[in-house]
Structure 1
Amino acid sequence: MNKWAVIGLGFISPRHLKAIKWIGDEILIGFDKETEWEQMIEGNLWKKVTHVAICTPNFLHYRMCEAMKDKVVLCEKPLTLTSEEALKLPDNVFTVLQLRHNKEIVALKSKLDAEPEGTKHSGKMTVIVKRDKEYWKGWKGDESKSGGILFNLGIHYFDLLIHLFGDKYKIKKSDQLFSIKNCFLPDPPLTIASGTIDFDGNIFDYHLAIRDTDDQQDRRLEIDGKEISLSKKDNLSFEDLHKDVYMNLKHGVGVKPQEAAKSIRLIEKLR
C-alpha cells in the first residue's frame, strides 16, 4: 500500500483525497500552508511517505517537485510555469492531465492511432467557463504566480490537442484578447483567446471564453463535424477523472515531465 502526503488542501484537494482512498492507498499527511512543507519533509513521519500529491498554487510546483526526488510525485496542472523547468524534473514526477482519460477521448485516440498514415482531420476546441471577479483574487490574479490565463484555463485543452495530433505544429493565428489585468474592468472582454493551429495537416481552431452564468458553460471538441462533450460543469474535477489518473499511477503509468512540457511550450508560443 502506498503512503501519501497531500500538500495543499484547497479547492481541488478533495478530488485527490477521494481518489487516493478509492485506489486503496493510505494518506499519512495533509497540510496546507505554503511554508509548512519545508518543515514537514524534515520530520520522521515524512520518511514513511512513498507518494506525494501537490495541490498548491502553480508557482510552487517546480520547487516542490524538485525537492522530492526520493518520492513518487503527482502534481496538479500546470506542472511548471516554463517548459525549461519541466524538462529539468526527473521521471519520479507525474502531472494531472485528466482529460486524457475521458472515455470518448480514449476511444478517439485509439481510432486516430489505427488510421492509415496521412489521414488528416479538422475541427475546433471550444472552452466556455464561468469565472467571476472573486476567482482572480489571490494568486490566480497574479500572472507571476499563476502563469497567466492560458495556463490556468487552457492547459488541459492544448494538452489534449497535442495528445491526439502530436507536437509537430504551426501556429497559424493566435489572438489573446484577455489578460488578468482586464478581469477587474467593469465590462471585461468575454473572449480569452482564439486562434488556429496546424498539427501537421490537422487544422484546429480554438476558442476560450468567460461567461457570467453556470448554464453558459461548455467544453467541447469538434472533429470532422462530430462533437465530443468534455464537461458542462464548473470544473473538470467534477468528472471524477482523477480516479483514473491515480489508478494509472499505481501501475506506474502517467504523464511525465517530458510529455507535460509539450503543452507548456505551446502556451509559451501562443502568448
Structure 2
Amino acid sequence: MKNFAMVGVAGYIAPRHLKAIKDTGNNLVAALDKFDSVGIMDSYFPKADFFVEFERFDRHIEKIKRQKNIQLDFVSICTPNYLHDSHIRMALRRGADAICEKPLVLNPWNVDALADIEKESGNRIHTILQLRLHPSIIALKNNVELKNKQGKHDVDLTYITSRGGWYHASWKGDESKSGGIATNIGIHFYDMLSWVFGEIQENVVHLREKDKAAGYLEFEKARVRWFLSIDEEMLPKEVKEKGQRTYRSITVDGEEIEFSGGFTELHTESYKEILKGNGFGLQDAKPSIDMVYDIRNKEIVNFGEKHFLIK
C-alpha cells in the first residue's frame, strides 16, 4: 500500500484520482484545497486529513514523516493549470513522485526546468495522458502502423463541450492561468494525435477566441483539421435534440473513430501503469505542450486547409 497526498481535491477531475487511488489498493493520507466542499472524500478516504491552507498541509506532511515515520510515495495534483509547476516541485521536495493532470505545465521551458529537478531529486514526474490507454485509440495507432500508408491520412477532429457562464468567471477563463481553450480542453487530443501520427511538422491557427479555436496540424503521417469549442450553439442539431451537451468526433480518411465511451476507468488504468513503473513522463508530455504554446502565440492566418465549421 502506497501513501498518497492530493492537492486540488475539490476540483472537477479529483474524484477520478480518488477512485484510482482507492481502486489500486492505496491510501490517501492528506488532501488540500482552498475550497472546503470536499464531501466526496467520504466515499473514498473518510479518515484522510484535510486542509484549506497550504502551510498547514505542508507542515502536516513534515510532521507525520518525523513523528509517525509516514513517508509520502505520491502526490496527486488536480489544481488549476498554472499551479502545476509549483505543486510538482513541492512533491519532489517532499521525496514523493508527482502524478499531475494535464497540461503538465503551460510552457515548454517549464518542462526543461522540471527535468533538472527530477534528476536531482531521484523522484519521477508522471502525467495523465489517458487517451493513449483508450482501446479505440490504441486500435487506431495499430491500424495506422499496420497500413503504413503511402502519403498522409486526412483527419478531422471536432470537440464541442458546452460550458456555462461560470467558465469565463473562473480561472479557466483566464488564459494566463489555463492556457486558453486549446490548452484547457484540447491538450489530450493533441497528445493523442502526435502519439498516433508522429512528429509535428506544421502548426497553423485559423481561429482563436475565448470560447472556440481552430487550425491545421500536419504530422508525419496525417493532415489534421481541428475545431474546439465550449459554445453550446456550435453543437450539431441532432446532438441538441438528444439533450446532450458534448460532441466529439474524429474521422480518419472519412471513417469515424468511435471513442465516446470507455473513459470512466482510464485514470485507474493510468495509476496501475504508474504503480508498475510505467506511465508517462515529461518527455511524453512535451510535444503537446509545445503545440498548445504555439497555438496560443502564433499569428492567426486565413489560408490553408480549414476545418469545415469555419469555412
TM-score (norm 1): 0.86
1:179-190 alignment, distance < 5 Å: 179=210
**Superposed displacement of residue 231, structure 1:** 3.2
| Distance in structure 2 (CA, Å) of the matches to 1:28 and 1:38 | 12
Q: How far is 1:137 from its partner?
A: 2.0
Q: Residues 224 and 264 (structure 1 numbering): CA distance in 2 closer, same or farther, change over 3 Å?
A: same
Match of 1:166 among 198, 212, 220: 198
Match of 1:146 among 178, 184, 192: 178
8 Å contact from structure 1 (residues 87, 258) kept in 2: no
Which residue is 1:81 aligned to? 106
Residue deviations 1:32-71 (CA, integer Å, cap 9, x gap): 1374244444332495211110011111110111232221
Runs of 4+ in 1 over 4 A off after TM superposition: none
| 1:201-251 residue CA offsets vs partner (Å, 9 max, x unmatched) | 51111011223366142112111121123338xxx9x63311111111111
1:50 and 2:84 aligned: no
Residue 91 of structure 2 corresponds to residue 60 of structure 1: no
Identity of aligned pairs, percent?
Answer: 35
Instruction: Give the drift of 1:19.
Output: 0.9
1:188 maps to what in 2?
Answer: none
Q: Counterpart of 1:229 in 2: which secondary structure?
A: coil
Q: Amino acid of the residue matched to residue 132 of structure 2?
A: R
Q: CA deviation at 1:177?
A: 3.2
Aligned-partner Cα distance in 2 for 1:198–1:108: 17
The one of 165, 187, 190 equivalent to 1:133 is 165
- How many aligned positions are there? 255
- Residues 114-151 of structure 1: CA deviation (Å, up to 9, x unaligned): 34375631111110111111122232122222122211
Q: Does 1:245 align with 2:276?
A: no
Q: Which residue of 2 aligns with 1:121?
A: 153
- Aligned residues of 2:85 and 2:104 also touching (Cα < 8 A): yes
SS in 2 for 1:48: coil
The residue identity in structure 1 corresponding to 2:217 is I
CA distance in structure 2 between the aligned counterparts of 1:223 and 1:204, rounded to whole angstroms = 9
Partner AA of 1:99 in structure 2: L
Q: Are residues 1:27 and 2:28 paired?
A: yes
- Residues 82 and 41 from structure 1, CA distance in 2 versus in 1: closer, same or farther, beyond 3 angstroms? farther
Separation in 1, partners of 2:82, 2:60: 19
SS of 1:265's equivalent in the other structure is helix
Mark the runs of 5 or more structure 1 residues left unpaired by the alignment.
184-191
Aligned amino acid, residue 72 of structure 2 = V
For 1:92, the aligned partner's letter is R
Which residue pairs with 1:186 in the alignment?
A: none
Distance in 2, Cα, partners of 1:62 & 1:254: 19
User: Highest Rg: 1 or 2?
Assistant: 2
Instruction: Pick one of 184, 208, 220 that aligns with 2:228.
Output: 208
Aligned to 2:252: 223
In the alignment, does 2:293 pair up with 1:268?
yes
Letter in 2 for 1:143: E
Q: Sort the Cα spacing of 1:6 and 1:75 in 2 relative to 1 into closer, same or farther, 3 A.
A: same
Please show how residues 251-262 of structure 1 align to structure 2 within 5 Å.
251-262=276-287
Structure 2: gaps spanning 5 or more residues = 35-51, 233-239, 297-311
Contact 2:181 2:213 in 1 (8 A): no
- The answer on 1:4 being equivalent to 2:36 is no
TM-score (norm 2): 0.75
